[in-house]
Homo-oligomer: A and B are copies of this chain.
Amino acid sequence: MPSVLIVDDELAIRDMVRMALEMDEFVCLEAGSAKDAHSIIVDDNPDVVLLDWMLPGGSGIDLLSRLRSEDLTREIPVIMLTARVAEEHIVRGLEKGADDYITKPFVPRELIARIRTLLRRSKPELNAERYQVGELVLDGTSHRVFAGSILIDLGPTEFRLLLFLMKHPERVYSRAQLLDHVWGANVYVEERTVDVHIRRLRKALQLPSTDYSKLVQTVRGAGYRFSPLGTGFS
């Protein structure tokens, strides 16, 4: 389970964020000052740091600089928390090496979505994998899908959809779940849209030679499932 360090001088904010994150899928660490934060980072090596920009004495900036200057901590993803107004802070923060920022106030869900995105980026091994079922190959590194030697052309969304499905075969996902995992947790999209993209994906998987679309199965009343079972592939 990924760990997140929350750096903010206000206890209330820390609590809120912790509440939101622990409900989901993260372990939380907390620090009320830049100094504490640095010790914890060195000690516990969290996967992501949430850093309030407005720490007393401008020490948030300093902490980021320091993290980026030391080999041990250079790679740790940092998300800035800033007030909405302070745009120049955002620019400065990104210059100093923050990986993302989020303006207060924010909805917990949005924060979670961004953390996930960062984790995905910083742990590429999770993403750049290669999945294969029969002759169907999805190569995360090259971002390509092959059926044997034939290149299958997919739109970005269809690619992500197939990636997600192939990553979790033999498992039904409701439209809501697919929206959360493939589209992202903070988007407002109709559930029926999933149907359409499933269709586009299937269409692309229908080759004159072989019909891979059977791998993407409808489970009436429940959602969709990727499964080689009973299709002749596997």
Binding site for B on A (CB under 8 A): 12-13, 15-16, 83-84, 87, 90-91, 93-95, 99-101, 104-110, 113-114, 116-117, 120-121, 123, 125-126, 141-143, 151, 155-156, 170-172, 174-177, 179, 187-188, 190-191, 219-222, 225, 227, 229-230
Cross-chain contact A188 with B114 (CB below 8 angstroms): yes
Cross-chain contact A156 with B16 (CB below 8 angstroms): no
Q: How far is the CB of A148 from the nearest CB of chain B, in Å? A: 13
Most buried by B among A12, A83, A125, A142: A142
Q: How far is the CB of A127 from the nearest CB of chain B, in Å? A: 11
Q: List 23 A-B contacts (CB under 8 A).
A: A12-B95, A13-B95, A16-B94, A84-B87, A87-B105, A90-B105, A93-B105, A99-B109, A100-B107, A120-B176, A120-B191, A125-B176, A125-B177, A126-B172, A126-B174, A141-B171, A141-B172, A142-B172, A143-B225, A151-B229, A156-B220, A156-B221, A156-B222
**B residues less than 8 Å from A126 (CB atoms):** 172, 174, 222
Q: Give Cα A56–Cα B49 distance, bound, in whole angstroms.
A: 37
Cross-chain contact B16 with A95 (CB below 8 angstroms): yes
**B residues less than 8 Å from A94 (CB atoms):** 16, 105-108
User: Who on chain B is nearest to A171 by CB?
Assistant: B141
Q: Give Cα A191–Cα B94 distance, bound, in whole angstroms.
A: 26
